[in-house]
Amino acid sequence: MILVQETALMQGDCYRRPDYPNTWARRHGQGRVFYTALGHREEVWTNPFFQALVFGGFAWALGNVQAEAEPNLDRVTPRANQLKS
């Protein structure tokens, strides 16, 4: 887990749930997977933080950067899979 979507102060029924993963990286067999839910708004792409996040994620996924990607979902967002009905 790289970034977590904190929902406590968000408005709307879809956010009445525990915090959940927003950006993550993991190993898949011999490969590497990087994912971010950010970037759906055009102005985000010019943000230096977002650019660094994406470039870092791509560099790791391509194997140009060595970093641990140990699973931490249960530790960081222990109730992420629980949705209110």
Mean pLDDT by groups of 10 residues along the chain of 85 residues: 91 87 94 95 95 97 92 89 71
The structure's pTM equals 0.82
Apex 14 CA angle, 11 and 15, nearest 5: 50
Task: Evaluate whether residue 55 is within a structural domain.
Answer: no
- Whether 85 maps to a domain, the answer reads no
- Residue 21: give the domain boundaries: 1-25
Flag whether 3 is in a domain.
yes
pLDDT reported for residue 22 = 94
pLDDT, position 39: 92
Residue 13 lies in a domain: yes
For the chain, the domain total comes to 1
Phi, psi of 62 (to 5 degrees): -80, -5
Residue at 64 is within a domain: no
Asked if residue 51 is part of any domain, the answer here is: no
Q: Residue 82 falls within a domain, yes or no?
A: no
> Cα torsion at 13, 19, 24, 29 (round to 10°)?
-100
Element (H, E) at 23: strand 20-28
Half-sphere exposure for 25 (CA within 13 Å, toward CB) = 21
